[in-house]
Amino acid sequence: MTPATLSAALVDQVPAMQARATTLDAEELFPEQDFQMLRELGALRAPLPSAQGGQGAGTEPGGMDLIVRLLITLGWGNLAVGRLFEAHVNALKLIVAYGTPAQVGRVAAEVWDGHLFGLWVTDPAEHALQLSAGALRGSKGPCSGAGHVTRALVTMSTPAGSQMAVVAVDRTVAVEPKRGVLQGMRACINGVARFHDTPLADDALIGGPGDYLREPLLSTGAWRTSAVTLGGLDALVAATRDQLARRGHQDALLQQDRFGHMLIAQETARLWTTAAAQHAEASQAPAADQVAYVNLARIAVEAACLDAMRLAQRALGLAAFLRPNPVERLLRDLAVYLRQPAPDSVLTEAASHAFSA
Ligand SMILES: Cc1cc2nc3c(=O)[nH]c(=O)nc-3n(C[C@H](O)[C@H](O)[C@H](O)COP(=O)(O)OP(=O)(O)OC[C@H]3O[C@@H](n4cnc5c(N)ncnc54)[C@H](O)[C@@H]3O)c2cc1C
């Protein structure tokens, strides 16, 4: 499939994804059908470099437009699906950036076999994952796709520093989905992965110590989360417009005022996201400039979404809080998904960078 055909095919899937999203959220079910659809369309292998039969979506400058479109479209269809897909892309991007050709080839073959990758880098408060004497001990969490992703790129502490490794999520890893605790993004199936003397396969370590924390990739990848979020915002704006129109409020001045500001927030998020993608994926600018720009974009998109969420609640009133109104789920999913790491330092470091320029 060409990038244009793949994007168009995915757009065609959005109504079905949105229809499934209500049940997946209510019953906290992993979006199996959505990922089967993505597998069949070839979207899961689109992030692979062209040399591996992919389309470089997110891994090569030429694949930038495609990954922007895929992430926004998936967020529009179902934020949880978008988030899981984004983790798959993030893991593949890091493996392509830091792995050896043999490792990239092996991972590409697994993606062609249909494996979905997770990116498990957050450590729980206790028992952070460690590697010693060739075995993994400790936990990772929260882990999206718990019990469903079949490969994960994990970070662990080693005597030499923090390292990444690809692990097969099989019987050697105890994965516990934590249902009933998250307000939104419930179809992500977050959980904890516990490793009990799990042997690390030969040649599983990706890159060297400290590579995961290396800039610009550590920070610039945040634009992908913003893109998925923007898709969710698109869905919120569309649903609010439809519901206001159904009530006959399209000519009410104050509703127009609120909806106009939602459109401004939506376009603000779109402009920042697409420019951030350009800075992260196809720019020759110094790494510090790329990082600062994407950091500002992350906060701008967060602010735009929070603004639009407040306006949707005010415009629709109680209906925005009643299930199964899709707006109710979108507000919960967006509220949770917007909680990304360290927002204060992201903003203050970008401001500080502007002073030092
Ligand atoms: C739906 C969902 C799925 C996820 N899936 C995964 C996954 O698959 N894999 C994974 O690894 N992680 C996952 N995560 C976790 C995610 O990567 C982040 O770790 C998490 O979202 C961080 O959110 P937080 O609000 O706790 O951030 P924090 O960074 O804890 O921020 C909370 C607040 O504290 C402030 N703050 C932070 N540090 C300091 C400090 N030192 N001093 C003072 N203030 C500070 C921040 O600015 C912010 O205001 C997921 C999260 C979500 C929401």
Residue nearest to atom 50 of ligand 1 (CA): 142
Return the DSSP state at 212: G
CA angle 282, 286, 292 (to 5 degrees): 85
Q: List the end-to-end C-alpha distance of the chain, in Å, as a whole number.
A: 44
Q: Do 31 and 24 touch, CB atoms closer than 8 A?
A: yes
Residue nearest to atom 36 of ligand 1 (CA): 342
* Residue-range domains of the chain with CATH: 3-116 (1.10.540.10), 118-209 (2.40.110.10), 215-356 (1.20.140.10)
Identify the pLDDT of residue 125: 87
Residue nearest to atom 40 of ligand 1 (CA): 342
Q: What is the DSSP string of 112-130?
A: HTTPPEEEE-PPPSSSB-E
Distance 340 CA to ligand 1 centre (A): 5
Identify the pLDDT of residue 279: 97
Identify the pLDDT of residue 235: 98
Q: What is the DSSP string of 313-345?
A: HHHHGGGGGSTT-HHHHHHHHHHHHT--S-HHH
Atom of ligand 1 nearest to the CA of 342: 29
Give the residues of the chain that fall short of pLDDT 70: none
Residue nearest to atom 21 of ligand 1 (CA): 340
Identify the pLDDT of residue 52: 97
Nearest to residue 107, comparing CAs of 66, 191, 47, 160?
47
Q: Do 121 and 170 touch, CB atoms closer than 8 A?
A: no
Give the residue, out of 164, 192, 329, 339, with the most ligand 1 atoms within 8 A of its beta carbon, to mutate for a pocket test. Answer: 339
Residues with CB under 6 A from ligand 1: 83, 87, 118-122, 142-144, 185, 188, 190, 336-337, 339-344
Strand partners, 194: 139, 174
Strands 161-168 vs 130-132: parallel, antiparallel or unpaired: unpaired
